[in-house]
Amino acid sequence: MTDAPVTIVIGSAGRRLYLIDWFRAAFDTLGLSGRIIVAENDASSAAASYGDETRLLPRYTDPAYGEEVLRLVDEVEPRLFLTANDFELMQLHVNSGIADALRDRGVFVPGVSAAWQVGCADKLRMAQMLEDVDVPTPKTVKGSDLDLLTDVGENGEFVVKHRFGSRSSGLAVVTGGDVDEAVVNSAKSVPPRADRTDPRDDVVVQPRMPGSEYGVDIVSSLLDPGPLTGVFARRKLRMRAGESDKAVTVDPGPFREASGKIARAAELSGLIDVDMFLDDQGRASVIDINPRFGGGYPFVHLAGADVPLYYVSQIFGIPIDEGWNQYEAGVISAKYQETRVTARGSQEISDSSTAVEHT
Ligand SMILES: Nc1ncnc2c1ncn2[C@@H]1O[C@H](COP(=O)(O)OP(=O)(O)O)[C@@H](O)[C@H]1O
Ligand SMILES: [Mg+2]
């Protein structure tokens, strides 16, 4: 063990305690004395007290958020600032632009370019960006532009979903004749947005892709963004709360070409999670990109991939062999539930009328 502890910050890990475990394991493997600071908004979340130290950050919507992140970074001097939350990524890379300020301080902030970060949150824009770089993706139109959806036969199947959604929000699968009604229904639950007049503008419609659905993690170097250094794929066997719940690892070959194009165009550094379909001819098309560790990473990690080890080795300049991007195909894993105490002496009254949080 070297003496001086090295520090990383993991933000909004929420329920993903395995990420903290696997970064700890990476420090151990490389013989580093590492300190993991968990930054959360909710002091009693499962992850908040699971790191070596906890720091509370304001909500991402709070104007003080950017300033507080910089204050935290100046205090603890991490080499990596990682977050598993889409809203926090948007704050870091786009709204506050502090991802660049962090990089100027020598902190690695994995992710995609600001333009792709915006695209990842907007399914209409993403479809356009993917088409522009020749990555197959279903034709995507706004709920208010259904006349652009050619070939709407009565029996063709379509997917209706929230344009800025996540975790399958506003999702419906319908046949051609029912698209109008499904758009109106989905539009009822879109969140409010300034300057938007027609809520159907925030709903998108796509043809339903044939074939099976896969989750693909694609990885680029933190030191040299763009070129691919890893592609890991699993076929989704069961979904729960918008996340893969059971999956089987598969050969990444069919996904490599689309992954390479995305990584290059998005100036990728680190890992992102991509939803793809594979048709009968083995052609991949992309339906969704989550620019962070997604809920599907555990399935490839448990089959042998090790992205936390790759990150730590790159950041601290300790060479490792290529084993980190190898995994075994045909491994099935399933998630399960755990619970841990996250606060004591709380004054919360059990029958209080305060609202229960639904996530
Ligand atoms: N065009 C499509 N064809 C087939 N299935 C789809 C399509 N779009 C979405 N789905 C299904 O709906 C799920 C959620 O859609 P997705 O675009 O990934 O949005 P998000 O994960 O952001 O809610 C997908 O995982 C997939 O199972
Ligand atoms: Mg998705």
pLDDT surpasses 90 at 359:
no
Confidence of residue 347 (pLDDT cuts 50, 70, 90): confident
pLDDT surpasses 60 at 351:
no
What pLDDT does 114 receive? 96
Confidence of residue 310 (pLDDT cuts 50, 70, 90): very high
Q: How far apart are CA 180 and CA 324, in angstroms?
A: 47
Here the tokens at position 259 are: 């992954």
Q: How far apart are CA 145 and CA 200, in angstroms?
A: 9
Using one digit for the tens of pLDDT, what is the confidence trace for 99-147? 999 999 999 999 999 999 999 999 999 999 999 999 999 999 999 999 8
pLDDT surpasses 80 at 152:
no
Which part of the chain is CATH 3.30.470.20? 209-334
What pLDDT does 96 receive? 86
What pLDDT does 353 receive? 52
Q: Is the whole model's pTM more than 0.85, yes or no?
A: yes
Residue type (1 letter), 334:
A
Task: State in Å: Cα 286 to ligand 1 middle.
Answer: 10
What pLDDT does 153 receive? 67
Task: State in Å: Cα 168 to ligand 1 middle.
Answer: 7
Relative to beta strand 141-142, strand 203-207 is antiparallel
DSSP 208: P
Nearest-ligand number for the alpha carbon of 122: 1
Query: Are 142 and 203 a contacting pair, CB within 8 Å?
Result: yes
* CATH code linked to domain 139-207: 3.30.1490
* CATH code linked to domain 6-109: 3.40.50.20
Q: At what angle do helices 123-132 and 256-265 cross, to 10 degrees?
A: 100
Helices (H) and strands (E) in the chain, counts: 10, 14
Query: Are 278 and 258 a contacting pair, CB within 8 Å?
Result: no
What pLDDT does 209 receive? 95
Which part of the chain is CATH 3.30.1490? 139-207
What pLDDT does 277 receive? 98
Q: How far apart are CA 211 and CA 229, in angstroms?
A: 27
Q: How far apart are CA 143 and CA 153, in angstroms?
A: 17
Percent over 70 (pLDDT), the chain: 96
Domain 209-334 matching CATH 1.50.10.20: the answer reads: no
Q: How far apart are CA 280 and CA 288, in angstroms?
A: 20
Interval 153-177 mean pLDDT:
92
Confidence of residue 241 (pLDDT cuts 50, 70, 90): confident
181-189 long-range contacts, CB within 8 A, separation 24+: 182/158, 183/143, 183/146, 186/143, 186/160, 186/161, 186/162, 187/143, 189/162
**Which residues have any ligand 1 atom within 6 Å of their CB?**
138, 159, 161, 165-169, 171, 206, 208-209, 213, 242, 275, 287-288
Here the tokens at position 262 are: 């995305």
For residue 43, how many other CB atoms are within 10 A of its CB?
A: 11
